[in-house]
Structure 1
Amino acid sequence: MITPALPVSHERRESPEPADDSVTAWALAARGGDSVAVDHFVRALHRDVIRYVAHLCADPQAVDDLAQDTFLRALGSLHRFEGRSSARTWLLAIARRAVADSLRRTAVRPRPADLPDWEPAAELAQPRGLPGFDDGVALLELLASLPEERREAFVLTQMLGLPYAEAAELSHCPVGTVRSRVARARATLMALLAEAEHPAPAASPPALAAA
């Protein structure tokens, strides 16, 4: 049986959670040349970058390279990070630019990919046990049916746990727009999950005429 469960919809507090405080503190320490802080910073956010990039880019073979590019850009720009936003939001903004730059390069010099979309790479980056997985039906498969902007809003707030205000900053749109996109994404996903649990009955074949 498929359980139509999705991450609970709620807007997180505007103040950063302790984990974000720690990551931001590591970024600030890394800016000063603390190699241990650099290691903590990269390890803490590596999975988030992988998951976000996997949902944004169209080439699953490029995910690892884009994640590496993101961290190289971030480490090269740490001297400009002042902690005005959380280090997580700052890093995901860099990841978004890295993907956009890659897409522009691909548009100029397209190259074929062995896999058609982002789902296989996102699947590998997705931890098990997330609500929405049951009897082999993956939430990621349902996310593929959403428009790109709604999918990004859902991933940022419901899967990566960013506050709506930070998701809006990343997406360059008002907070209300992010709330609307998440609400519409959830409504679509709930409908798809309900449809998967209660599929429409197959039409009965027409009765044969009596001889």
Structure 2
Amino acid sequence: MTSQLDLILEFFKANANKDISHPEAVDWLTNEWQKRTGKVFRDPDRGIRTLHQKGYLIKVAKGIYRFEPNFKLRDDLEDFTPDLKKKILDRDEHKCVICGVGQKDGVELHVDHIKPKELGGKATFENGQTLCAKHNFLKKNLKQTETGKKMFIQMLETAKAENETFLVKFIEEILSVYEKHNMNGHIRWKK
């Protein structure tokens, strides 16, 4: 039986050297998976991203991918071994290092490369961290500093609403460091 990743690759190979948008791929994949298996293809987007991260697909632009038959597959991307994943999860107490939720809260956890493997990050204990699915998704779709700034802005709004003056002052100091170093200026916060 064909796996979901195999089906995605089949689709992109059939459309080689063509820029394919997510909606076009997702529509075909969900329909074809339903025809072949009688089941629902729950997250084709994740499968497409996985194949890109593994070097099978080229990301042309946001939400647009291409398969090129002559493209050299990256063999330098390292994944964490199951043993190393366990050690990282144990070190991080099976909780997301950003929000603190974990499996006991019914949340799916991921072992994530701090420095992304696409940017040369190695699968080492020091370069691993535990993230909940939500924060792993945010990190993959936003630069880490952008994710951090957005989370601090969200925390600031909550702290203001709950009249937590000490926390408001602390978060504003952090956000002023972003400004001082001209980091992520496109993300605005209300002073």
Q: Which has the higher contact order (CA 8 A, sep 6+)?
A: 1
| TM-score interval, smaller chain | under 0.3
What is the TM-score of this pair, normalised by structure 2? 0.24
Structure having the larger proportion of residues in strand: 2
TM-score (norm 1): 0.23
